[in-house]
Amino acid sequence: MPPQEIPALFAELKRNFRAGVTRPLSWRRTQLGRLKALIKENKQVLEQALKADLGKSPFESWVAELGFTINEIDHTLAHLDEWVRPETVSTPLAFQPAHSEIRSEPLGVVLIIGPWNYPVQLVLAPLIGALAAGNCAILKPSEVAGACSTAVAQLVPKYMDPQAVRVVEGAVPETSALLELPFDHIFFTGSTAVGRIVMQAAAKHLTPVTLELGGKSPAIVHSDANLKVTARRLVWGKLYNCGQTCVAPDYVLVHESKKDALVALIRKTVGSFFGADIRNSVDYSRIINERHFDRLVGLLEGQNAAIGGGSDRDSLFIEPTVLVDVDPASEVMQEEIFGPILPILTYRTLDEAIDFVNDRDKPLALYVFTNNRKTREAVLGRTSSGGAAVNQTVLHLAVPDLPFGGVGPSGMGAYHGRTSFEAFSHRKAIMSKPTVVDPDLLYPPYTEFKKGITKRVL
C-alpha cells in the first residue's frame, strides 16, 4: 500500500469502529474462530514461509508459531465471557444508594507492528487480544521476513472481517506513515532502539503503547544445579530459532567450580540435539539475512570459542558457539546477541552474580538454575526482569495466564491470556444512582450535623 493511502485506510477503520462493527461479543468470537481457521487451513503455506525466511523446521514452526497461536486463541475463547463481564465493586456508605462497576471497553483502532524472528506468531498473537477486546486493527508484519509478510497479507483478507482487520506491508516509509496517525494503541515487538522511535511517535498523539523489546537475558547457574539438565535446557533455549529469540539466554553466569563441567555437557548436548553434521540438521534454523549474519560474526572477533565458532555466509549458517574467558567490556557483552552465540562467565559468590546482573539494564527474562530455595529466592528477590524461570528457559512465555512483557529498557506493558485482553481494553469506572431517593448529606448548606455524619462514614 502506498504510504499516502494509509491515512484513508485508518479513517475507514475508525468509521467502522464508531459504527459498532466490532463491539458484539458474537463478532469477536467469530473473528477469533476465523483466525484459528486461517492458521489450521494454511499450516503448510505458513510453514513454507517460515522455512524460506528462517530455515525453521515444521516441528519448530508448529510449536513456537502456529500451535502456540492456536492455543492462545482457544484459551481466549474459553475465558472471554468471564473477561468481558462487568466487575462490581463496593460503594462507600456516604454515596448510597448506588451501584459501582468496572466495564472493559475496546480502545478503538490499534496498530500491531510485528518483528521478523517469529513473524507469524508475533503479529497474530497480539491480534487475539485486540479482537477479544473488540478493536479494529492494522497489522504491519516485518518486511525482513518477506515470505511470512506476504503470506499474512494474502491470508488475512480471506479470513478476517475487512471492516476491522487490515494488513499494511512495506518497510520504513510505510511504518513511518502509520506512526504519524493517532491510533488508540500501538503494540510493537522489536528492538529497544526502534521501540524508542515508536514511543516518540506515539507521544505526539498521547497514544498508549505496549513495547515488547529485548535485552541481555542472563542465566545464573549455581554450584548446586543439576548440570546435565541445566545444559540441556540452556542449549534448547539458546538455539531455538538459531538463537533469534527475545528471551533466549544471552549469557551464562556459572559458579567458577562448575564452568568446565558445564561447557563439556553443553558440547555433548549440542551433539545429541543436532548430530555431528549440524549444518545438515533439519532441526537447526538459519540467520535471517546477511546483515545480521555479518553482525554476529563481528561479535566473534577476538573471542575464545570453546565450542563452535564456524560459519558460512552463503547459507547463513553459524555453528552453535560457546565463548569462554569473555571480557565483560567486550562488544558481545554490550548488545543483545540474537544468535547462536553463548558467552559463559564465572562468579565466586552469589552476591557477585546478582551484582553483575543489577549493574546492567533490566532484562526481558532471567533464568536461575539451582536446587536451593534460598538461592532461588535471593536471585528472584534481588533482581528485576520482565519475567523469570527457575531451572528452565523460555517456557514461561507459553503459560497463558502469565503476563509476558519487559521492564525498563526491555519493554513496557504485557500480554498473553487475560493480560492481552486488558492491554487492548479500557477499564471504565461507572457509578449509577437511583433517583427515587436523593439524600442531601453531600449538598450545601454543610451543617454541623452533616459534617459529623460525613466524618464518620467517609
Any residues with CB less than 8 A from the CB of 114 and at least 6 apart, and which? 122, 123, 126, 139, 140, 141, 142, 189
Q: Return the pLDDT at 61.
A: 96
- Under a CB-based contact definition with an 8 Å cutoff, are residues 116 and 175 in contact? no
Pairwise CA distance, residues 53 & 117, whole Å: 9
Pairwise CA distance, residues 418 & 280, whole Å: 41
Q: Cell digits for 139?
A: 497489522
Write out pLDDT tens, residues 346-355: 999 999 999 9
Write out pLDDT tens, residues 232-263: 999 999 999 999 999 999 999 999 999 999 99
Q: Return the pLDDT at 93.
A: 87
Flag whether pLDDT at 345 surpasses 90.
yes
Judged by DSSP in three states, 20 sits in coil
Write out pLDDT tens, residues 21-44: 999 999 999 999 999 999 999 999
Domain boundaries, the chain: 3-213+408-429, 218-405
Q: Cell digits for 390?
A: 527457575
Angle at 361 between CA 245 and CA 345, to 5 degrees: 70
Angle at 395 between CA 225 and CA 199, to 5 degrees: 120
Q: Cell digits for 274?
A: 543436532
- Under a CB-based contact definition with an 8 Å cutoff, are residues 303 and 323 in contact? yes
Q: Return the pLDDT at 458.
A: 76
450 pLDDT band (50/70/90 cuts)?
A: confident
DSSP 388-456: EEES-SSGGGG-TTS-EE--GGGEE-EESTHHHHHHTEEEEEEEE--SS----TTSSS--HHHHHHHHH
- Altogether, the residues listed in the chain come to a count of 458
In angstroms, what CA-CA distances link 378 with 137, 375, 381, 384? 42, 5, 5, 12
Which residue, among 321, 246, 318, 310, has the nearest Cα to 286 in the 3D structure? 318
Write out pLDDT tens, residues 285-329: 999 999 999 999 999 999 999 999 999 999 999 999 999 999 999
Average pLDDT over residues 357-371: 97
Q: Over pLDDT 70: what percentage of the chain?
A: 100
Judged by DSSP in three states, 65 sits in helix
Judged by DSSP in three states, 106 sits in strand
- Under a CB-based contact definition with an 8 Å cutoff, are residues 211 and 137 in contact? no
Asked if domains 3-213+408-429 and 218-405 share a fold, the reply is: no
As a whole number, the mean pLDDT across the chain is 97
DSSP 296-332: HHHHHTT-EEEE---EETTTTEE--EEEES--TTSGG
Q: Cell digits for 189?
A: 515487538
- Under a CB-based contact definition with an 8 Å cutoff, are residues 126 and 420 in contact? yes
The secondary structure of 232-298, three-state, reads HHHHHHHHHHHHCCCCCCCEEEEEHHHHHHHHHHHHHHHHHHHCCCHHHCCCCCCCCCHHHHHHHHH
pTM: 0.96
Any residues with CB less than 8 A from the CB of 295 and at least 6 apart, and which? none
Pairwise CA distance, residues 213 & 103, whole Å: 30
* 3-213+408-429 CATH: 3.40.605.10
- Under a CB-based contact definition with an 8 Å cutoff, are residues 246 and 191 in contact? no
Residues designated as active site: 212, 246
Q: Return the pLDDT at 1.
A: 82
Q: Return the pLDDT at 180.
A: 98
Q: Return the pLDDT at 455.
A: 84
Judged by DSSP in three states, 131 sits in helix
Q: Return the pLDDT at 440.
A: 87
Q: Return the pLDDT at 441.
A: 84
Flag whether pLDDT at 454 surpasses 80.
yes
Q: Return the pLDDT at 246.
A: 96
Write out pLDDT tens, residues 390-449: 999 999 999 999 999 999 999 999 999 999 999 999 999 999 999 999 988 889 999 999
Q: Over pLDDT 90: what percentage of the chain?
A: 95
Flag whether pLDDT at 456 surpasses 90.
no
Q: Return the pLDDT at 176.
A: 97
Q: In the CATH scheme, what architecture does the domain 218-405 have?
A: 3-Layer(aba) Sandwich (3.40)
453 pLDDT band (50/70/90 cuts)?
A: confident
Angle at 112 between CA 110 and CA 113, to 5 degrees: 145
Flag whether pLDDT at 17 surpasses 90.
yes
Write out pLDDT tens, residues 165-222: 999 999 999 999 999 999 999 999 999 999 999 999 999 999 999 999 999 999 999 9
